[in-house]
Chains A and B, each alone.
Chain A
Amino acid sequence: MQSEFLQKLTIFKKNRLAMVALFVALLLVVLSLFASLISPYDPVSTNLENKLQPGFWAGNWEHPLGTDNLGRDLLSRILHGGAISLRVGYMVIAVTAFFGTLLGIVSAYYGGVVDILIMRVIDVFLSFPPLLLALAVAASLGAGLQNAMFAISLVYIPQMARVVRGSVLKVKTNSFIEASRALAGGNVWIMGRHILPNIFPSALVYLTLLLADAILYTASLGFLGIGIKPSTPEWGAMLSSGKEYLLMGQWWVTVFPGIMIVLAVLSFNLVGDGLREAFDSKLKR
């Protein structure tokens, strides 16, 4: 098990595109972690005299990426925005991983009525277009990062539960499960000790791809101004506030946050793709 895992990591390391993406992704993570240390200015304090200043391309090194419509330093806001996007992303992943895995394992392991009940409820959640569900829930709960995070998790828990259920159904048929039961292994023991480690690779791949999606959904909620307060230095919200100035030629407020979203989503997607190629034996040629 251990060596197989390492072997697959070696396959991943040989994927140059995925390694570059991993580097970019880690860079983004580090920059976000230390956002408040690196940021030259406060991301929320406004200075109207300084509004919509162009950045380095106009020789302005005080605000390298310029300032926004309320005179806030764009670079500082972008760095903090990364921290916010990633924080929402991690929390969505943690919540989704926990509940998705739990529901998926319980549903597949016990089968029967439990399975039918859980799957029917999951079907209901999957009947909504993903963003719509997050929007509706976030709209009801009101603004706040925690609410946005909860709303986005609601989209992914059912999907994750399905993925996990599928893998558990395959693992369940192995004879080592039967052996453990013959040795008086309890249900919780079997689920935790034998099933969980075996579904780990597919869950990991799914969660990496989910991080990219979660960043995109957070930005979408921010752009629509739902679930995230407009003053929050969130990439989608920043981009939305710059929209009206774009047509007047002040492009930087809209362009830079957009580039950051693309960079973050693309790098996490590529890392996820790389992991999937390494871990999903079906794709190996």
Chain B
Amino acid sequence: MGLLRYLLKRLFLLIPTVIGVTILVFLLVHFIPGDPIEVMLGDKATEAARQALTERLGLDKPMYEQYWNWFVHALQGDFGMSVQSRLPVTEAIRSRLPATIELALTATIVAAVFGIIVGVSAAYHHNSKFDHLLVTFSLVGVSIPIFWLGIMLMFLFSAVLGWLPVSGRISMGAGVQEVTGFYLVDTLLQGDMSLFLDSLKHLLLPALSLATIPLSQIVRVTRSSMLDVLSEDYVRTARAKGLPYRKIIYKHALKNALIPVITVIGLQMGKLLAGAILTETVFSWPGTGRLLIQSISNRDYPMVQGIVFILALAFILVNIIVDLIYAKLDPRIRFE
């Protein structure tokens, strides 16, 4: 089966799942105990305002009709108006999404690159002090709450040492002309080196905190998968031929050892998206995660629904991409 057919098959199988996701997201408003209108507007709202919101959300209609309306609009990327700001939910999400993607992508790259390098060298120096130290670190790494780590890093590097900014994406008043929405790219396009460095400095701590857990997992998996591969016959043959060990690792072993690593990176994406919500909250990073938490405390449910749906879709999409890479690396997958 070709990769394209595999992709089409996967996309086709997704249809019922995505419909299920829309049902669950739609039902979120109906999980609210008591009167959702009162919860959203507070008990001091006028009758007219209550009436207007009931109509706008269609809560006076039968359940199936409400769902159908929501579903049809959601498919067109319309999640209604924010109860708080009265602006379209989609607009708010679109303006915040690049910040989250920039943060998550940087963290993934940091975690993957450093994780693989460190994991391989731990396997290379198997059972040495260095190896044991790394294993211990990666164990602690998966157990640290990401928000606590973020706060501690912020305390050390921003408050005590004063090297890095405390929060946000860029210094106040800096004029970034948004083209892509990724500040690292936009500042470069602008040709402003000091702005680029400024955005990099802002990105550093959040990306490091977010990368810690996946980094630790990737180190652990790379190490054990590399150790597995290094005990294979073909590695012994290569050594017997007199190839240098370093060359065997990078030319022969690494490619085969990477398959479980890719799986783990995929599995970590969910935690990464979830971690982004926490990291954005700690560092006041203006992304979708922070918007979600703000909307939850404002009881802005249309906004909550929109963000939850978009993040779930993003997660599904990332999983497909990971599966495709996986299918490319290991052709057996495609024939299941």
Contact = CB atoms under 8 A, between A and B. Distances in A.
Given A141-B31, A258-B145, 13 more contacts: A121-B20, A124-B20, A128-B21, A129-B312, A131-B275, A132-B308, A132-B315, A135-B292, A142-B32, A261-B145, A261-B148, A266-B140, A266-B143
Interface in B91-144: 139-140, 142-144
B17 A247 contact: no
Interface of B: 16-18, 20-21, 23-25, 28-29, 31-33, 139-140, 142-145, 147-148, 151-152, 155, 159, 166, 269-271, 273-275, 277-278, 281, 292-293, 296-297, 301, 304, 308, 311-312, 315-316
Q: How big is chain A's contact interface, by range? A: 35 or more
A210 interface: no
A131 B293 CA distance: 12
B151 A239 contact: yes
Given A130-B274, A132-B277, A224-B293, A140 B32 contact: yes
Contacts of A226: 293, 296-297
Contacts of B166: 247
A132 B25 CA distance: 11
A127 B273 CA distance: 12
Contacts of A261: 145, 148
Given A124-B24, A130-B270, A131-B274, A251 B155 contact: yes
A224 to B, nearest CB: 6
B277 A135 contact: yes
B271 A270 contact: no
Nearest to A219: B145
Nearest to A239: B148
A129 B273 contact: yes
A239 B28 CA distance: 28
B270 A129 contact: yes
A269 B151 contact: no
B277 A124 contact: no
A92 to B, nearest CB: 16
Interface in A243-270: 243, 246-247, 251, 254-255, 258, 261-262, 265-266, 269-270
A139 interface: yes
Interface string A137-150: 10111100000000
A24 to B, nearest CB: 12
B28 A137 contact: yes
Interface in A207-239: 212, 216, 219-220, 223-226, 236, 239
Contact of A224 (B273, B278, B304): B278
A279 to B, nearest CB: 18
A99 to B, nearest CB: 17
